Structure 1
Amino acid sequence: MRLRDVRISDVDAYVRMRCDPVMMAELGGPLPREGMADKVRRDVRSAEADTDWIKMIVPDGREDGDGAGVGSGEAAGIVTLYTHTADGELISEIGWMVLPEFQGQGLGKRAVRAVLERARDDGRWGLVHAFPSVTNAASNGICRTLGFTAVGEKDVPFAGRIFRTRHWTIDPALIPCQAP
């Protein structure tokens, strides 16, 4: 598995992740297809500016394409790390999605760990928060397995909707380096 920055050619992957009822079941339901191209453009700008890390998950053995649209559907999912204001405080938040045909293969866990390791080495993110739905066993399992601390439950807005989450935190500075 490798991670790469989001590209303009990732619109189809965004549509598959964000507009699908199954993928969005834990996040209040599918989003409308309209606006996905704009969302990708905003994410590409943020990734290029290095203000947000928006990484597409590319499985081993999958051709990723040339960045001009060829092979752009090969992403298995996404992992993001960004800052925003929550309850009047600036926080760093990590989130991820893995397409159904790639779930259960450990890609989400490896991608989240890779981004946390990069955050540890970068040093600017501080304490990282995650807010998976309380009913999302797989994402809560990733948090538990990677050493996040459960803080409690919290109602969180996403795409204009409120949903109940389990609030987790982790300090990337405390993540041990893994042997190659």
Structure 2
Amino acid sequence: MSQVNIVPWSESNLELLRLINAPDMMEHLGGPETEEQLEIRHKRYLEISGKGKGHMFSIVLLPNREVVGSIGYWDSHWQGENVYEVGWSVLPGFQGRGIASSALQAAISHANSEAKFRWMHAFPSVHNPASNAVCRKLHFTLRSECEFEYPPGHFMPCNDWRLELDCGQ
């Protein structure tokens, strides 16, 4: 796995969000957002930690400290349980190098340190083999295929991957 660090989301990450918003990056997520939607998302990412509802991070490739993607987890409610939901994006020029796996491992460790929820779920599109492979590599259990609404008003077939965290309720 690549050497990465996850760094709390900051004001400077709006440009990263714009890069992630490219059509090829948003193919499995309902397509690109408007500038207004990106600014709302950026504000939500900046505020999530302070609200105690999760954490958003930029993914930084070491040793050069190049920002190459985003990862985060947030409080969610799934099938009657309070859980963390996790999601990530790695810029195209950096994909296929284990960066997402390394960043996800760091996010899992961060979530474990909070000891808040027992389960973490990821919901990659069934048509996104790379993200599904990351889940498999990090020992998430494939629970089922499901219809997932993201963004609001757009339903897509996803896989429900679940990981039991070390600490939690």
Who is 2:105 aligned against?
113
Q: Say which structure is richer in strand.
A: 2
> After the TM superposition, which segments of 4 or more aligned residues of structure 1 sit over 6 Å from their partners?
none
The alignment's TM-score, normalised by the length of structure 2, stands at 0.89
Q: Which runs of 5+ in 1 are unaligned?
A: 64-73, 175-180
1:94-124: CA deviation from partner (whole Å, max 9, x where unpaired): 1111010111111100000111122223211
For the pair 1:128 / 2:130, whether they are aligned, the reply is no
Q: Which residue pairs with 1:21 in the alignment?
A: 23
**Is residue 169 from structure 1 mapped to residue 162 from structure 2 by the alignment?**
yes
Distance 1:24 1:41 in 2: 19
| 1:4 counterpart residue number | 7
Q: CA deviation at 1:34?
A: 2.0
Which residue type is aligned with residue 61 of structure 1?
P
Secondary structure at the counterpart of residue 152 of structure 1: strand
SS in 1 for 2:46: helix
Per-residue CA deviation, residues 40-92 of structure 1 (Å, 9 max, x unaligned), is: 122111123443110110101334xxxxxxxxxx4211111111234554321
Structure 1-normalised TM-score? 0.84
Equivalence for 2:46: 44
CA–CA separation in structure 1 for the residues paired with 2:15 and 2:114: 30
Instruction: Check the 8 A contact 1:6/1:47 in 2, yes or no.
Output: no
- The structure showing larger relative contact order (alpha-carbon pairs under 8 Å, at least 6 residues apart) is 2
**Range with greater deviation from structure 2 (37-46 or 104-113):** 37-46
Aligned residues: CA RMSD: 1.7
Aligned to 1:35: 37
What is the CA distance between 1:166 and its match in structure 2?
A: 0.7
> What is the percentage of aligned positions where both structures have the same residue?
28
- The number of equivalent residue pairs is 163
